[in-house]
Amino acid sequence: MTDAVLTQIEGPLGRIRLNRPRAIHALTREMCDAMSAALLAWRDDPAVKAVVIDHAEGRGFCAGGDVVMLAKSGGGDGAEARDFFFAEYRLNHLLFTYPKPTVALMDGITMGGGVGISLPCKFRVATENTRLAMPETGIGLFPDVGGGWYLSRLPGRVGEFMALTGARLDGAECRYLGLATHYVDQASLPDLVERVAKSPGRVNGAIGAFSATVPEARIEKNLPAIAKLFASDRLEEVIECLEADGGDWAQTELATLKSKSPLSCKVSLRLLREGAARTDFADEMRAEYALACNVVRTHDFREGVRALLIDKTGDPSWDPATPNAVDDAMLDALFEPRDPGEEWTPFAAA
């Protein structure tokens, strides 16, 4: 077990509290295993009526996963990275299929792996501090932990926009897009948890009693531009549309997009296109596992982590350097399924 996750039963509630504040609660394999163990035990415990997931202290809910470890593993045999993804995706799927009400308090930074443990929950509470993003293309990765499923189901190409640019959404935007089910002031969260504990059979009403007035969602005014300029599943065409537009917003997003890994951007667009057609979340996790095992061994992932997180020079040298140089054969190789016996598998059903 690990002290980076605090798990306990409080009355009818199972409480999972991320407790790695110096890393903004970035997930390790041990943390994923601890959360899964608790969830599996509570799944069959009639005394536990609902589960609440939040963070114990610090300024964010969860900043993602331990990508430095992943990059180092990818530079070797990749075994540690594969073990992490296997455990993380099992946790994601367990939450997605959990038979009891689950509540994620998405207060503060909610990125990458933090998205993966909040979006599967039935109740997702955003606050004025929420900053949700899938910024993986900036480090040569892709929006995993179910990103191919969730982002592809957002309206009007918002998911593709988020995947390509790593755009950060605030709590109001999360509520507007349905990524959050409720918007509550941070100061009300302790009382909210207490109310849920008193009424675990009426979680929606308990949370709703603390719902605050949702501010204007800034992304709303940009939806027409996103739908138009990010309409294509071809990265080259998205760039051409942004260049042709010439407006300030388009030029800002173009500059952002050009800083990302072309390979990762093309991987992300294909993942969302394929994810939109899937009907089983387990199939999504299986496909993302195979993809992640391959992507962590690419030059761009190791280089992105080096430039942004290790050396912090902010100047990754992508290879291939341009979208045109990323061909279908490269993508086909990365999307190759795992060999029989090496595929991702979910926990056994209850």
Residue 187 belongs to a domain with what CATH number? 3.90.226.10
Question: What totals of helices (H) and strands (E) does the chain contain, helices first?
Answer: 16, 10
Residue type, 11: G
Measured between alpha carbons, how far is 291 from 288 in angstroms, rounded to an integer?
5
Q: Residue 48's closest CA among 72, 78, 15, 77?
A: 15
Contact assessment for residue 158 and residue 253, using Cβ atoms and an 8 Å cutoff: no
**Among 14, 113, 114, 171, the one annotated catalytic:** 113
**Position of tokens 């948890």?**
193
**Among 136, 160, 253, 288, the one annotated catalytic:** 136
> Is 20 inside any structural domain?
yes
**Among 33, 88, 144, 288, the one annotated catalytic:** 144
> Is 348 inside any structural domain?
no
| Token pair in block for residue 326 | 């990323």
Full pLDDT tens readout for the chain, 350 residues: 579 999 999 999 999 999 999 999 999 999 999 999 999 999 999 999 999 999 998 789 999 999 999 999 999 999 999 999 999 999 999 999 999 999 999 999 999 999 999 999 999 999 999 999 999 999 999 999 999 999 999 999 999 999 999 999 999 999 999 999 999 999 999 999 999 999 999 999 999 999 999 999 999 999 999 999 999 999 999 999 999 998 999 999 999 999 999 999 999 999 999 999 999 999 999 999 999 999 999 999 999 999 999 999 999 999 999 999 999 999 999 999 999 999 999 999 87
144 is an active site residue: yes
CA distances from 178 to 88, 139, 322 (A): 23, 27, 34
Measured between alpha carbons, how far is 289 from 145 in angstroms, rounded to an integer?
9
> Is 249 inside any structural domain?
yes
Measured between alpha carbons, how far is 338 from 273 in angstroms, rounded to an integer?
20
Query: Cβ neighbours of residue 174 under 8 Å, at least 6 residues apart?
Result: 106, 124, 126, 130, 132, 180, 183
Contact assessment for residue 182 and residue 123, using Cβ atoms and an 8 Å cutoff: yes
**Position of tokens 């010439």?**
246
Domain count across the chain: 1
108 is an active site residue: no
136 is an active site residue: yes
Residue type, 258: K
Measured between alpha carbons, how far is 293 from 289 in angstroms, rounded to an integer?
6
**Among 64, 65, 114, 146, the one annotated catalytic:** 65
Residue type, 145: V
> Is 343 inside any structural domain?
no
Measured between alpha carbons, how far is 232 from 238 in angstroms, rounded to an integer?
6
Per the structure, the complete domain to which residue 322 belongs is given by: 5-334
Query: Cβ neighbours of residue 284 under 8 Å, at least 6 residues apart?
Result: 146, 148, 149, 275, 278
327 is an active site residue: no
CA 345 to chain CA centroid, nearest Å = 19
Query: b/e for 304-324, b at 16 or more Cβ within 10 A?
Result: bbbbbeeeeeeebebebeebe
- Is pTM beyond 0.85? Reply is yes
Adjacent-strand bridge partners of 183: 126
Contact assessment for residue 106 and residue 60, using Cβ atoms and an 8 Å cutoff: no
Pairing type for strands 13-18 and 50-55 reads: parallel
> Is 346 inside any structural domain?
no
Q: Residue 265's closest CA among 113, 135, 134, 142?
A: 142
> Is 350 inside any structural domain?
no
> Is 342 inside any structural domain?
no
Which tens digits make up the pLDDT trace of 167-198? Answer: 999 999 999 999 999 999 999 999 999 999 99
CA distances from 179 to 118, 225, 314 (A): 9, 20, 30
Burial tier of 79 (Cβ tally within 10 Å: 0-12, 13-18, 19+): exposed
